[in-house]
């Protein structure tokens, strides 16, 4: 608790109204982002039949690999939840530790995805091969870019926690970053249910 | 801080419940596809149902959306996004596959 009081003079407190307004604005952003993803899903589904004689999902996708990615994201969502709980309890060190665990899992997810992309491109199944692969790389790549930015934001958050402490503005940002991170996990449910599982069937 | 501490929020149990439910709802469709336990039709049905339930589980236990606890305007924006999503995705898929079908004739 000494962290929070030491810095409260420098950082103005947020009123509950201001906090709700910021959360609402961020929520609108998330919903528009959901619509972007929905349209990329629609594009993928329309293009997925156009393999142009090239490799199909059955040839390219590895279920254990996708399951590993799914678990990494799901566990990272839970560890971010632990960070949120530590923040509410006013334990700065706990927040930093859980955020670092979350960032490591996020990096692991992006690394697995890049490995998959590199393997596909190496066997001539890059985004230029067919409509199916263009749709695949656009959709899954956009999600991967979101996770990468989210991981970067988590590291920035750790920096803010270490320099500013658990001030009201930092807590408010942490809450919005949590929304973003959990949202990415929801998009991933769509990706494995629409792209990977039907692709392997 | 007192305000935040007394505020009735999610607890450890919410996150763990969400995690366990999500693992189960992920394992079922992956298992079915991996072991080819069912014909394609029912498998797709299970994938869709498990995905919809898992999205609701995430919204409830990770994003803490509640019909009573979440501010009305947030729910309204969420419902509006779902409406747009159904119209745009459903409409695109319907039109494009109908077109595909007609071009094949």
**What contacts A18, CB < 8 A, 6 or more positions away?**
none
Length of chain B: 105
pLDDT tens for A33-82 read 999 999 999 999 999 988 999 999 999 999 999 999 999 999 999 999 99
- Please give the mean pLDDT across all residues of chain A: 92
**What contacts A43, CB < 8 A, 6 or more positions away?**
A135, A138, A139, B92
Residue B103, classed as helix, strand or coil, is helix
* Domain segments of chain B as ranges: 1-64, 70-105
Task: For residue A102, count CB atoms less than 10 angstroms from its CB and return exposed for 0-12, middle for 13-18, buried for 19 or more.
Answer: buried
pLDDT for position A18: 83
A-B contacts at Cβ under 8 angstroms? 121
CA geometry: angle at B52 spanning B47 and B54, to 5°?
90
pLDDT for position A124: 93
pLDDT tens for B14-56 read 999 999 999 999 999 999 999 998 999 999 999 999 999 999 9
Is residue A106's pLDDT more than 60? yes
* Domain segments of chain A as ranges: 57-200
Of A24, A67, A81, the CB nearest to B74: A24
pLDDT category of residue A6 using cuts at 50, 70 and 90: very low
Percent of chain A at pLDDT > 70 equals 94
pLDDT for position B82: 94
A53 touching B, CB under 8 A?
Answer: no
Is residue B6's pLDDT more than 70? no
Is residue A92's pLDDT more than 60? yes
B23 touching A, CB under 8 A?
Answer: yes
Of A73-82, A109-118, B2-11, B83-92, the one with minimum mean pLDDT is B2-11
Q: Chain A partners of B15 at a C-beta cutoff of 8 Å?
A: 78, 81-82, 85
Looking at domain A57-200, which CATH architecture does it have? Up-down Bundle (1.20)
pLDDT for position B2: 38
Q: Which of A74, A87, A98, A177 to mutate to test the interface with B (most CBs of B within 10 A)?
A: A74
Is residue B3's pLDDT more than 70? no
pLDDT for position B67: 87
In this structure, what token pair is assigned to residue B76?
A: 């309204």
pLDDT for position B4: 42
pLDDT for position A17: 83
* pTM metric for this prediction: 0.90
DSSP conformation letters of A60-113:
H--HHHHHHHHHHHHHHHHHHHHHHHHHHTT-HHHHHHHHHHHHHHHHHHHHHH
pLDDT tens for B52-83 read 999 999 999 999 998 888 888 999 999 999 99
Tokens 């706990």, located at residue: A94
Average pLDDT over residues A145-168: 96
Is residue A3's pLDDT more than 60? no
pLDDT for position A12: 63
Q: How many CB atoms lie within 10 A of CB A113?
A: 20
A172 touching B, CB under 8 A?
Answer: no
pLDDT for position A11: 53
């Amino acid at each position: 608790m000494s962290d929070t009081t030491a810095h409260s003079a420098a950082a103005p407190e947020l009123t509950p109204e201001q906090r709700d307004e910021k959360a609402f604005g961020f929520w609108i952003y998330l919903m528009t982002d959901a619509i972007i993803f929905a349209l990329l899903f629609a594009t993928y589904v329309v293009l997925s039949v156009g393999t142009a004689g090239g490799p199909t999902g059955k040839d390219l996708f590895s279920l254990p690999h996708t399951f590993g990615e799914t678990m990494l994201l799901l566990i990272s969502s839970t560890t971010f939840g632990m960070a949120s709980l530590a923040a509410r309890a006013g334990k700065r060190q706990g927040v930093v530790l859980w955020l670092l665990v979350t960032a490591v899992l996020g990096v692991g997810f992006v690394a697995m995805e890049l490995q998959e992309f590199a393997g596909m491109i190496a066997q001539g199944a890059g985004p230029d091969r067919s409509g199916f692969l263009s749709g695949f790389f656009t959709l899954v790549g956009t999600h991967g870019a979101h996770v990468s930015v989210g991981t970067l934001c988590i590291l920035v958050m750790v920096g803010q926690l270490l320099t500013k402490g658990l001030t009201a503005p930092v807590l408010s940002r942490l809450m919005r970053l949590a929304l973003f991170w959990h949202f990415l996990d929801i998009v991933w449910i769509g990706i494995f249910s629409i792209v990977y599982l039907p692709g392997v069937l | 801080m007192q305000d935040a501490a007394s505020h009735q929020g999610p607890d450890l149990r919410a996150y763990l419940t969400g995690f366990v439910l999500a693992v189960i709802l992920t394992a079922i469709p992956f298992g079915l596809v991996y072991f080819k336990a069912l014909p394609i039709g029912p498998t797709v049905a299970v994938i869709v149902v498990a995905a919809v339930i898992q999205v609701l589980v995430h919204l409830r236990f990770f994003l803490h959306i509640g019909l009573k606890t979440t501010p009305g305007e947030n729910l309204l924006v969420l419902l509006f996004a779902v409406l747009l999503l159904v119209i745009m995705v459903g409409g695109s898929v319907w039109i494009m596959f109908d077109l595909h079908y007609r071009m094949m004739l």
